[in-house]
Structure 1
Amino acid sequence: MRRKRPTVVCLAAALALTGCSAASTGSGKGGGSLTYLTFETPSLTAKFWDTSIADAEKKVPGVTVKKIVAPSTDRDAYAKQLQASGQFPDLLQSITPSTFATAGLLRPYDQKWVDANFLLPQGNAYKGKVYIPPTNSQIIPEVFYNKKLFAKAHISAAPKTWSQFMAVCAKLKAAGITPVELGGGDPFAASMPLVGILSADVLGKDPSWLQKRYAGKVHFTDANVRAAVAKYRTMVKKGYFEDGALGVKYADSITDFTSGKTGMYMMGSWFLGSVPKDHADDFGAFLTPTEDGSLVVPFSVGGSMAISARTSDPAKATAFAEAWSLDPGNYKALIEGDGAFPMLKNKTLDDYGVNVTKVFKDSYSYVTQKNRKVSSFGWATNDDSMPSGLNNAFYSASQALFSSDDVEGRLAKLDAAWDSATK
C-alpha cells in the first residue's frame, strides 16, 4: 500500500469522524492498548481493517488496537496534526517514512526479520533502515488500454516507442475515441502522465537523478526535464485527453475507462483491482514508452505499518505490526481488491488463493523479471522520496501544466519549493 495511491483516495468522510474520535484514546496509555492510523477505500473497507486488526490481535495476547481513520487523502498531514496535539499513533499505515524518521518519530524494524521475510528487504529502506515492511509493490503508472477500442481504431499492437504511442493516440482520436483518460480533478491522478514520462525519460537515463537533486547537481528546470514535460504538453495540445479533464474526479475516471469511453488510462497498477471481472480480457497494459523503445519500469515498493518511536509498548506494537504484515489473508484482499504485487519470500500467487486477471499476471511479470526498474517519480518511499511537501507540490504542478505553456516557470517553482524544503 502506497501513500497516495487510491488506497489513499476515495476516503469515506462519515467514517473519518469515527476515526478522529478514536484518537482521543491514543498512544501512551499503556495496558496493551495501541492506536493505529489507517484509511478506507472502496477496496479496503472498514470491514477489511476491522477483520485484519482482529486477526492480528489474536496473535499478540494482551494487545487491544483502536483504529483511527484518516479524514483526508493526506495521511502524512493528518499524522502531523495528531503529533502536534500529543496524539501521535502507535502504528501508522502506509505513510512516507522520511517525513517522520528524520524527526525521530519512527522505530525501525529488526533487519534480520525483514531479511528473512521479504523479496526486496531494502526496497523501501530510508537511510539504511526499514521503517515500513516492504510487503508489496506497485508500478506507477502503467498504461492500461481497451483492446476492443484499439481494434476499432485498427491498432494491432501496443506501442513500444514514444512515436508509436503518439501515433496510437492520433488513430484513436481519428476514430472518434478519446485517446487517454485523465482524472485531473484529483492532483495525484492528474500527475500520472508526467510521472510516467519523467520516470521513463529522466530516471530511465539517470536513476540517481533525485539524489543529485538533493545534492543540487540537477534541477527541474534542466533541459531533459523540460523536454519530458513538453511531451505532456503536446498530448494536451493535440486533444488526446477528454474535454474538461481537470474536472474529472479520480473515481469517475475509473468508470469512464472501464465503461469503454476512452482508449487508454495512465494509472498506478492498483487500477488492476478495478478491472471488470466480467470482461477482464478486454484490457491490456504496457509501460510508458521511451524514445528508443527500451523498457523502464517505474517501481515503488510499498509496505504496511510504521511503528511510533514514542509508543508506550514497543514490544507489543512491533509484535502486532509483524503479525499483520505477514498475514496471508491481508495479502489476498490487497491483491484482489487493490492490485498489490506481493513481495513475501517463497510465495507464488497461487499460495494466496487469489483469483486474478491475465492483465494482472502480465503486469506482475514486470516485477518478477530482471529489467530496468527505477523509482517511480514522486512516489518513492525510500531514499528517492521527495522532501516533505514536494509530492503535493508536484501533483499540483501537474494540474497547472495541463493548461499552462509556462513550463519553465512552473518547474522553477518546484525547484524553489525543493530548496525551501531542504534548507
Structure 2
Amino acid sequence: MKRGPALMTAATGLAGALALTGCSTSATSAGGGSGGGLTFMTFETPALTATFWDTSIAEAQKEVPDTKIKKIVSPDADRTAYAKQLQASGQFPDILSSINPKDFTAAGLLKPFDQKWLDDNFTDPDGNAIDGKSYIPPTNSQVIPMIFYNKKIFAANGLQPPTTWDEFVDVVTTLKKAGVTPVEMAGGEPWSAAIPLSGIITADVLGADPEWIQKRYKNEVKFTDPGMTAAVGKYRQLVDAGAFDKGALSVSYADANKQFLDGESAMYPMGSWFIGQIPAAAAKDYGTFLLPSATGEAIVPFNTGGTTAVSAKSSNVADAAKFAQAWSLSKANLKTLIETDGAFPMLKNVPFEEFGAKVTPVYTDGFKLVTEDNTKVSAFGQVNNDDALPPGVVEQFNSLAQKLFTSSDVKGELASFDAGWDKAAK
C-alpha cells in the first residue's frame, strides 16, 4: 500500500450558541465525584442521537464511577468552533468529541494519549499522530469522499460507474441532458460544501504526491501551482457543466441526504458515514465508486477517525483520560458507529464479527477500500494527523469551496487561500 508520511493512518456568541441547544448541558449520571465532575462536549446527528450519547456515556462512566459526567451538545456541525467559544469563556470541556486537534495543540490545551495504550489497542496506533503524539484515538477510519450513486438512474440512462475523469464528465453531461440532477451537493453548510472539492484535490494532487501538504508547510509548493490550479479547475468544470443544482448553496446536509435518497439526483460525493443513512431495504439500489483521478489510478481519500480528546487543563485529567479510553474501546459504541455512521473499525484485538453489526453490501464495498492493498492518501482537509491543515484553515477551505461555486477566478481565489495559509501557519 502506498501512503504519505504519518498516514494510516465573545460572550454574546457563546450565549447564542447555548440558546440554540436550549442550554444543552445535561447530567447523564449522578456521580458526585470530586471537583464537580467532568464535562463532555458531544454533537448530535440523525445517526448519533441524544440516546446514543447518553447510553455510551453511561457505559464509559463505569470506568470512573465516582465522577459525574455532564454532556454539552455542540449546536451545529462545527465542533471545533464551538470548543473555541467555550474555551474563550473559560468553559473548555474536559472531554471533547470530533474536533480538529491542531487548533488546540499549540496552546497546550490537549493531553496526548499514552503511546503504549495506543500500541496495544489499535491496528494503526500512529494514524492520528501530530508531531509524534496522538490527541484522538485511531478507533475507526473513513473514506472521504466516496461517490454514492443511484443504480436505477444509472441503468435507465445506460451508464456505468466512471473510472476516468472524462468518463465522469460524460456521465454528468448525459444525466443533465436527461433532466436529472447529476451530483447532489449540501452546499448550505460550509463543511459539506467542501466535500466535492476536497475529493478532487485528494485524487489529483495528493494522489500524485502524498507529501504535498508537508511540502506546503515547508513553503515548497503553493496552491497557485499548476497542478493544484488544474485540480480546482475541475471543480469549476463541474459547476459550468451544470453538475450541481443551481440552488445547491442553500441546501442543508439533511435535505441533500433526503433528495439523493428520494431519487432527485444521481450521484452524491460524501463521507463514508453516509452509508448509515441508506435504509437496509434500499441498499441494493445504491453503489459507490471513487472519484476518478487525473491518472486514472484509484486513489482512496483516507481518514483515520476517532472521537474523544482530553483537555490538559481539566481539574481531573486522570479520570477524563480513563473515560475517554473506555469510550473509545467500547464494542457497543463501535457497533453503533458501524451500523449508523458507516465507521470502519480499527481495534486491534476485536475481529469484525465480534461487533455483531448488521451491514449492507454498500458498507462491505467501502470496508474493502480500507482493508485492501491500494493507494491510500490523506483526505484533504479531513484528517487529524500531521497532514491536517493549520489552525483555522479548514474553515477557510470550506469558505473557498462555497466561493468557487459562483466565482470562476480560480487563480485569484487560490492566491487568497495561499495568503490565509501563510498567515495561519506562522
Alignment match, 1:104: 108
Alignment match, 1:169: 172
Deviation at 1:115, TM superposition (A): 0.7
Q: Does 1:143 align with 2:147?
A: yes
Alignment match, 2:318: 315
Deviation at 1:183, TM superposition (A): 1.2
Deviation at 1:122, TM superposition (A): 0.6
Deviation at 1:21, TM superposition (A): 8.1
Q: Does 1:86 align with 2:90?
A: yes
- Paired residues for 1:322-341 under 5 Å: 322-341=325-344
Q: Does 1:289 align with 2:292?
A: yes
Give yes or no for contact 1:152–1:175 (8 Å, CA) kept in 2.
no
Q: Does 1:43 align with 2:52?
A: no
> Aligned equivalents of 2:282 and 2:231: distance in 1?
35
> Aligned equivalents of 2:276 and 2:133: distance in 1?
31
TM norm structure 1? 0.92
Give yes or no for contact 2:18–2:24 (8 Å, CA) kept in 1.
no
Alignment match, 1:18: 23
Deviation at 1:68, TM superposition (A): 1.0
CA-to-aligned-CA distance 1:86-112 (integer Å, 9 cap, x gap): 221111111111111111111111101
Deviation at 1:14, TM superposition (A): 7.0
Give yes or no for contact 1:30–1:312 (8 Å, CA) kept in 2.
no
Ranges in structure 1 where 5+ consecutive residues have no aligned partner = 1-11, 23-28
- Paired residues for 1:56-95 under 5 Å: 56-95=60-99
Q: 1:13 to 1:311 in 2, by over 3 A?
A: closer
Give yes or no for contact 2:25–2:71 (8 Å, CA) kept in 1.
no
1:134 is matched with which residue: 127, 132, 138? Answer: 138
Deviation at 1:32, TM superposition (A): 6.8
Report the count of equivalent residues: 405
2:410 is matched with which residue: 397, 402, 407? Answer: 407
Q: 1:350 to 1:14 in 2, by over 3 A?
A: farther
CA-to-aligned-CA distance 1:118-153 (integer Å, 9 cap, x gap): 111111111100111111111110111000000000
What is the one-letter code of the residue matched to 2:86?
L
> Aligned equivalents of 1:124 and 1:395: distance in 2?
22
> Aligned equivalents of 1:190 and 1:310: distance in 2?
34
> Aligned equivalents of 2:65 and 2:380: distance in 1?
41
What is the one-letter code of the residue matched to 1:352?
F
Q: Does 1:363 align with 2:359?
A: no
Q: Does 1:160 align with 2:169?
A: no
The farther-off stretch of 341-350 and 246-255 is 341-350
Deviation at 1:13, TM superposition (A): 8.1
- Structure 1 counterpart SS, 2:71: strand
Give yes or no for contact 1:32–1:316 (8 Å, CA) kept in 2.
no
> Aligned equivalents of 1:20 and 1:313: distance in 2?
19
Give yes or no for contact 2:80–2:100 (8 Å, CA) kept in 1.
yes
Q: Does 1:202 align with 2:205?
A: yes
Alignment match, 1:377: 380
Q: Does 1:222 align with 2:199?
A: no
> Aligned equivalents of 2:324 and 2:398: distance in 1?
31
Give yes or no for contact 2:34–2:67 (8 Å, CA) kept in 1.
no
Give yes or no for contact 2:21–2:74 (8 Å, CA) kept in 1.
yes
CA-to-aligned-CA distance 1:362-414 (integer Å, 9 cap, x gap): 01110011111111111111011111111111111111111111111110110
What is the one-letter code of the residue matched to 1:99?
D
Alignment match, 1:8: none
> Aligned equivalents of 1:290 and 1:339: distance in 2?
24
CA-to-aligned-CA distance 1:322-357 (integer Å, 9 cap, x gap): 111111111111111111111111333322111111
Give yes or no for contact 2:172–2:241 (8 Å, CA) kept in 1.
no
Alignment match, 1:119: 123
- Structure 1 counterpart SS, 2:21: helix
CA-to-aligned-CA distance 1:16-36 (integer Å, 9 cap, x gap): 2333587xxxxxx94471111
> Aligned equivalents of 1:59 and 1:395: distance in 2?
38
Give yes or no for contact 1:20–1:71 (8 Å, CA) kept in 2.
no
User: Percent of aligned positions with the same letter in both sequences?
Assistant: 56
> Aligned equivalents of 2:109 and 2:192: distance in 1?
29
Ranges in structure 2 where 5+ consecutive residues have no aligned partner = 1-16, 28-32
Alignment match, 1:278: 281
Alignment match, 1:180: 183
Q: 1:82 to 1:282 in 2, by over 3 A?
A: same
- Structure 2 counterpart SS, 1:17: coil
TM norm structure 2? 0.92
Deviation at 1:174, TM superposition (A): 2.5
Alignment match, 2:8: none
> Aligned equivalents of 2:184 and 2:172: distance in 1?
11
Give yes or no for contact 2:24–2:72 (8 Å, CA) kept in 1.
yes
